[in-house]
Amino acid sequence: MTSLKTLQEEMKGLVFYPKHERSTSFLWKDGLPKRLDVYRNNTRLNWADALDQDFAMTRRQFTKDEWQELCKKYFVQHPPASWELNTALSPFVKFLSTQNLRTYVKELADYEWHDLQSFIHRAIVKKGTRITNPTAMAQVFKHQIFDWVEKGAPEGKPPEKKPEVLVFFRDSKLACHILEADPLMLLMMDHFRKPGRTLEGLETARQKLLPQNVIPLHRVFKQLLLQEILL
């Protein structure tokens, strides 16, 4: 008799996205039951729907067939390794980087992923702690992704190739923001990641790293507090 372990592994082989669809199994000697398709469809559609929704704008850069092919290729390599389906999609951006795609499409996926991460980040954002917002993540893009997304990421009009650094974060009222960052802002975010840091300590770091920058630190500090990048 087939052991429980063998049965479950066989079901996985039959239901997960395969490289090649199987039409036989030792579990059913008279051929696969037709209703096995319910599990195949449910499982694969659930995965694909999650990818569609988490990367909705990225998806629109492909034809339906191209996207389906990409989905299949992805899930063959990366079946969900988490009980939480959004989390299970975390290898997708890295997977795209291995594909022969336009750079800005890969960057768009990264942008969407960072946006999601700031929305669901588990940290509590509490004002008055005088540290960097724990949900804040900076990311460098080679293209002007933000403006392009604001225009709906039109397929025929790629974003301008010009670097931008964006900071994704969630404020204390649970709203998510995306801001353009500059070196001093990034330095300040890094400096205040640890509690107990002061502006005086930052000045020393700035003189080393950004010797040309003479903007009053307190002014920047105040603005970042207002924006809740610093708390």
Q: Which is nearer to other proteins, 9 or 66 (CB)?
A: 9
Reported residue count of the chain is 231
Please tell me the distance from the alpha carbon of residue 178 to that of residue 73, in angstroms, as a whole number: 31
Q: Which of 70, 71, 88, 202 is close enough to bind other proteins by CB under 8 A? A: 88
Element (H, E) at 170: strand 164-170
CA distances from 224 to 44, 63, 132 (A): 44, 41, 9
Q: Can residue 63 be called a binding residue for other proteins (CB under 8 A)?
A: no
Q: Which is nearer to other proteins, 82 or 97 (CB)?
A: 82
Please tell me the distance from the alpha carbon of residue 81 to that of residue 84, in angstroms, as a whole number: 9
User: Checking DSSP bridges between strand 176-180 and strand 137-141, what pairing results, if any?
Assistant: unpaired
Q: Which of 43, 103, 129, 139 is close enough to bind other proteins by CB under 8 A? A: 43
Q: Which of 21, 65, 98, 124 is close enough to bind other proteins by CB under 8 A? A: 124
Within residues 202-231, the interface with other proteins by CB under 8 A covers: 215, 219-220, 223-224, 227, 229
- Write the interaction track for other proteins spanning residues 132-151; mark x where CB under 8 A is met and - where it is not: ---x----------xx-xx-
Stretch that binds other proteins, among 39-47, 64-72, 95-103, 204-212 (CB under 8 A): 39-47
Please tell me the distance from the alpha carbon of residue 63 to that of residue 75, in angstroms, as a whole number: 18
Reference 192, options 129, 99, 103; nearest CA is 129
Within residues 164-183, the interface with other proteins by CB under 8 A covers: 164, 166, 170-171, 174-182
Q: Can residue 16 be called a binding residue for other proteins (CB under 8 A)?
A: yes
